[in-house]
Amino acid sequence: MTTNTENARRNGVDTATLFATLDAVKGDTELAKFQFRATNRWLTGTHNRSTIHGYHGAKQEMTHQQPFTFDADHPPVLVGGDNGPTPVEYLLHALAACLTAGIANIAAARGVTLTEVTSTVTGDIDLLGILGLSEGVRNGYQQIKIDFTIRGDDPEKLRSVVEQSRRRSAVFDVLTNGVPVSINVDAG
Amino acid sequence: MTTNTENARRNGVDTATLFATLDAVKGDTELAKFQFRATNRWLTGTHNRSTIHGYHGAKQEMTHQQPFTFDADHPPVLVGGDNGPTPVEYLLHALAACLTAGIANIAAARGVTLTEVTSTVTGDIDLLGILGLSEGVRNGYQQIKIDFTIRGDDPEKLRSVVEQSRRRSAVFDVLTNGVPVSINVDAG
């Protein structure tokens, strides 16, 4: 019984429910269609705040257990109030978080035990782009690098888990391949 | 004097410092090279936490006025503990925050007064991709939409400010055009 319970929750992942969820989605692929959302309000200067609460998935409207709010701002060196990270820093967090969640899930599904997963993400950006000072410089990051330190079972298995997480990461896909973004404006 | 002060801080943006910063960067383009960073630590299951603190810019190492930490997790319907938004929801926040900061800066630089900027971002995703249940479905968002409500001066000026923010947004660029991401693994 203890062994079953341990197997069912390897790395803190409820693998029994994970496999049951996969089976349910195989049986009804409409369950897999999700829409995530954020709302944002300008406060002052470059300081603004997003709220993340409701989403649609598994054929129903749902909410997180609580609304999550996040402030973004520019630092003083970029003429802001430093009331939060810059928007581009949130992209780095999203990448690390997505790959790390995938690592935990995939390792659990494969029966691989993890003891530590840490990472550092860096993004290099030349602000001549967004400042409008050079048409030859892009607005966004020129490159992003992420370094993982991962401990647990056999290193080869751990490396394979990271690679599979990369292959199935939503954020990695969006950041490397891009996505269509449409903007609508009600200027009243 | 009151008029000067109001002009110098339109929309909460210190436009005098903004223009001085632009002039400084024009005079020494090395000042525009920034590196942003995040570190992440796996907690349990799909729950992990990022810290954003130090960065490099303007030819020096700098830190935000405080370390910012953010939790990410999957919700129960995706076999997580809902201790934070999903990683892909942070992408929506980053987009709204970047465009909104740009709107405030560009409006201030143009002498356009804002009274309200709110937005709702949605991202549609079919989880058959990340669940590995359909090779024809991408892992990431299929589309992102952002709806702005903006109030203040003349609607045409406001619409033009939003369009210029889109043209100079770092996050919009990364999300629509993609960026090279390299992953290194120490499985020691």
pLDDT of B7: 56
The two tokens of residue A172 are 């990695």
Largest CA-CA distance found in chain B, in angstroms, rounded:
66
Chain B touched by A13 (CB under 8 Å): yes
Q: Which residues of chain B have pLDDT under 70?
A: 1-7
The two tokens of residue B38 are 């995040």
Rounded distance between C-alpha atoms, residue A92 and residue B34, angstroms: 14
SS3 A185: strand
Contact of B18 with B25, CB cutoff 8 Å: no
| Percent residues over pLDDT 70 in chain B | 96
pLDDT of B3: 44
ipTM given for this complex? 0.96
Rounded distance between C-alpha atoms, residue A50 and residue A72, angstroms: 8
pLDDT of A188: 82
Rounded distance between C-alpha atoms, residue B140 and residue B129, angstroms: 8
- Please report residues of A whose CB lies closer than 8 A to that of B56: none
Cβ of A42 within 8 Å of Cβ of B18? The answer is no
Helix (H) or strand (E) segment spanning residue B166: helix B155-167
Q: Tell me the pLDDT tens digit for each residue of B12-54.
A: 999 999 999 999 999 999 999 999 999 999 999 999 999 999 9
Rg (CA), chain A: 20
The torsion angles phi and psi of A51, rounded to 5 degrees, stand at -120, 135
Sign for the CA dihedral angle at A102, A108, A113, A115 comes to positive
Q: Tell me the pLDDT tens digit for each residue of A138-180.
A: 999 999 999 999 999 999 999 999 999 999 999 999 999 999 9
In eight-state DSSP terms, residue A155 is H
Rounded distance between C-alpha atoms, residue B59 and residue A168, angstroms: 37
pLDDT of A7: 55
Chain B touched by A16 (CB under 8 Å): no
Rounded distance between C-alpha atoms, residue A40 and residue B18, angstroms: 24
The two tokens of residue A128 are 């001549």
The two tokens of residue B99 are 């465009």
Cβ of B184 within 8 Å of Cβ of A129? The answer is no
pLDDT of A9: 85
DSSP A77-91: GGTS--SS--HHHHH
| Reported pTM | 0.96
Chain B touched by A112 (CB under 8 Å): no
B138: nearest CA partner in chain A: A173
Rounded distance between C-alpha atoms, residue B122 and residue A7, angstroms: 37
Residues whose CB falls within 8 Å of the CB of residue A27, separated by 6 or more in sequence, listed in order: none
SS3 B113: coil
Residues whose CB falls within 8 Å of the CB of residue A141, separated by 6 or more in sequence, listed in order: A88, A91, A123, A124, A125, B170, B174, B179
A184 has pLDDT over 90 = yes
Write down the residue that tokens 């690390």 correspond to: A96
Residues whose CB falls within 8 Å of the CB of residue B179, separated by 6 or more in sequence, listed in order: A123, A140, A141, A142, A143, A144, A175, A176
| Percent residues over pLDDT 90 in chain A | 95
Chain B touched by A188 (CB under 8 Å): yes
Cα separation values, B169 from A5, A52, A128, B32, B164, Å: 48, 21, 12, 15, 9
Q: Is B6 left (phi over 0), alpha (psi -120 to 50) or beta?
A: alpha
Bridge-partner residues for A112, per DSSP?
Answer: none
The b-or-e profile of B127-148 (16+ CB within 10 A means b, else e) is bbbbbeeeeebbbbbeebbbeb
Chain A touched by B47 (CB under 8 Å): yes
Residue B40 one-letter amino acid? N
The torsion angles phi and psi of B131, rounded to 5 degrees, stand at -80, -5
Q: Tell me the pLDDT tens digit for each residue of A93-150.
A: 999 999 999 999 999 999 999 999 999 999 999 999 999 999 999 999 999 999 999 9
pLDDT of A69: 98
pLDDT of B2: 39
Mean pLDDT of A89-96: 98
- Please report residues of A whose CB lies closer than 8 A to that of B52: 85, 89, 92-93
